[in-house]
Amino acid sequence: MEALVEVRHLKTHFPILKGLFRRPAGAVRAVDDINLAIRREQWMGLVGESGCGKTTLGKTIIRLLRPTSGHIYLGAPSDAIAEIESLEHSRDGHHRLKALRREHDLATFSGKRIKGVRRRMQLVHQDPYTSLNPRMKIRDIVAEPLAVHGIMRGKQASERVANILRLVGLSEQHMARYPHQFSGGQRQRVAIARALATNPEFIVFDEPTSALDVSVQAQILDLLKHLKAEEHLTYLYITHNLSVAETVCDSIAVMYLGKIVEMGTALEIFHSPRHPYTQALVLSTPIPDPKTKRVRIILPGEVPSPANPPTGCRFHPRCSRATEECRSTEPTLEAKEGSRLFACWHPLE
């Protein structure tokens, strides 16, 4: 299965400006050298604590943010990606490399080209209370992407909006209402409808259910599952809730301080984590059963600042298995056994 979205060595740094001339005095390394491949019709989960760079990664992939370096491909042929990779390492062929990147690499796109590609990928924000304009009617909110991309307008657009609203479990009568007349779950449905308006292939969900109740959350997850099957969508699902990720995602990537520390299928991540951070995350996720008393691993301290990450393995100050090796050299994300990817010197068995 070919990858729809492919991210290579992606870095997004935010400069810290200091002094009279606002010179950069350092950088917040929100996303630091990330490789990620999402197959067509895959539901990829991205989990991690707040401040680990999940949202930045999501926003960089759909190019709401400009990456500092790296490549982003959306449906690019694999031989082109391979050629870019090989040209980067060789000394000559600059022009060929530049031309290829212009053609395929989203990181180099700007202006009209980015607008063209944005039709194919959309974002659903975290909080449906702030992501919908309170002064626009639902019809206008959902039809806005259609107008922006010049797809359709007027009556035709209204018909399309009605269809999409039906698809997400709302009805035509809702079109003339304003966002404040809806509950949180319904608002999130409107936000999803807006994302679907341009018929995208790839949608990034940035914690779509964290502001909702469990019963509504289950409704939304159910909806997403149906939409994915009907519209053949590919999802990147950003969440901090590991149990949600486990129930809905095909595979999960665990992020810590701008890096992916472990990747695997949902079952593998949840039942046999290899990275100590993943294990700590899994074990600190509360489960609704008072009888199962788990060995709790309480991580000491908090996530360090991404402006000044620890040397070596970024997790070592909080890790119980840390050794001298972890302090000095940084482990890389490698497929060590089979398809499991993890970045740790002392993985769990």
Partner 1 sequence: MNDLLTIKGLTVRFHIYEGIAPALQDLDLAIGQKETFGLVGETGCGKTLTALAILRLIPPPGKIESGTIMFNANGGSEPVDLLALSEPDMRSLRGSRISMIFQEPSAALNPVFTIGDQIAEAILLHRPEEVYQQAADAVDQRLANAAGPVSILARPVWSVERRLYRQLARNPESVWLKFVGRVPLVRRLLWRISVEAEKMAAEALKDVEIPDAARVVRQYPHQLSGGMKQRAVIAMALACCPKLLIADEPTTSLDVTIEAQILELLRKLKVDTEASILYITHDLAVAAQICDRVGVMYSGTLCEVATAEEMYGNPLHPYTKALLAAVPKPGVEPSPIRGFIPDPLSLPPGCRFHPRCDYATEMCSKETPTMREVTPGHLVACHV
- By the criterion CB under 8 A, which residues form the site for partner 1? 49-50, 183-185, 213-219, 221-222, 240-244, 246-248, 270-271, 280-281, 284-291, 296, 298-299, 302
Q: How far is CA 37 from the centre of its chain?
A: 12
Q: How far is the CB of 44 from partner 1 (least distance, A)?
A: 17
Q: How far is the CB of 184 from partner 1 (least distance, A)?
A: 7
Cα gap 188→198, rounded to integer Å:
17
CB atoms inside a 10 Å sphere around CB 253: 27
Instruction: Please say which residue, 147 or 216, places its beta carbon nearer to partner 1.
Output: 216
Instruction: Please say which residue, 152 or 218, places its beta carbon nearer to partner 1.
Output: 218
Read off the tokens for 117: 């590609």
Three-state DSSP state, 336: strand
Instruction: Please say which residue, 117 or 299, places its beta carbon nearer to partner 1.
Output: 299
Instruction: Please say which residue, 67 or 185, places its beta carbon nearer to partner 1.
Output: 185
Query: Which H helix or E strand runs over 279?
Result: helix 276-284
Instruction: Please say which residue, 147 or 299, places its beta carbon nearer to partner 1.
Output: 299
Read off the tokens for 262: 């472990």
What is the number of helices (H) and of strands (E) in the chain?
12, 11
Cα gap 178→169, rounded to integer Å:
17
Instruction: Please say which residue, 152 or 303, places its beta carbon nearer to partner 1.
Output: 303
Instruction: Please say which residue, 99 or 297, places its beta carbon nearer to partner 1.
Output: 297
Q: How far is the CB of 244 from partner 1 (least distance, A)?
A: 5
Q: What angle do CA 41, 43, 46 make, to 5 degrees?
A: 145
Cα gap 37→72, rounded to integer Å:
10
Q: How far is CA 279 from the centre of its chain?
A: 21
Q: How far is the CB of 222 from partner 1 (least distance, A)?
A: 5
Q: How far is the CB of 36 from partner 1 (least distance, A)?
A: 22
How far the first Cα of the chain sits from its last, in Å, is 30
Q: How many CA atoms lie within 13 A of 273 on its CB side?
A: 19
Q: How far is the CB of 212 from partner 1 (least distance, A)?
A: 8
Q: How far is the CB of 344 from partner 1 (least distance, A)?
A: 17
Question: In this structure, what is the dihedral angle of CA atoms 29, 32, 37, 40, given to the nearest 10 degrees?
Answer: 10
